[in-house]
Amino acid sequence: MSSFDDREKAQEAKFAHDAALQFKAEARRNKLLAIWAAEILGKTDVNAYVGEVIASDFEEAGDEDVFRKVSADLSQADNKVSDEKLRAKMDELMAVAQEQVLKEV
């Protein structure tokens, strides 16, 4: 029975590790997205805007809260960004964030 217990513990550890990596990648993606949007918006205090975007991620599960926050901010800008372009940028930055997080492991 020890072998079964060892496999179970290994699977639990892998699940926890994968979840931690996903959380870090999403947080990194949100930071990169905020930096990108801050540049478009002409924000002078980029760190404050990064904090706003990261805080918006705690409103609900998933990416929609971050999408709504950044989309609303960008819709008020002179240089409007379409929803499609924003979603594509989020996907692009998620790939970048995942790569960065995996390099840190």
10 located within any domain: no
Average per-residue pLDDT in the chain?
89
8 located within any domain: no
Q: Encode pLDDT of 51-100 as tens digits.
A: 999 999 888 888 899 999 999 999 887 767 899 999 999 999 999 999 99
1 located within any domain: no
94 located within any domain: yes
> Given a cut of 90, is residue 1 above it in pLDDT?
no
The pTM (predicted TM-score) of the whole model is 0.85
Closest to 67 measured CA to CA, from 80, 85, 51, 79: 85
Of 74 and 7, the structure prediction assigns the larger pLDDT to 74
18 located within any domain: no
Domain count, the chain: 1
15 located within any domain: no
Tell me how far apart the terminal alpha carbons of the chain are, to the nearest angstrom.
32
79 located within any domain: yes
Closest to 38 measured CA to CA, from 29, 27, 49, 28: 49
Q: Residue 9: count other Cβ atoms within 10 Å of its Cβ.
A: 10
57 located within any domain: yes
User: Where in the sequence is the domain holding 73, given as residue range(s)?
Assistant: 23-104
- Please report where in the chains the tokens 């904090």 appear, as a residue: 51
- pLDDT of res. 15: 83
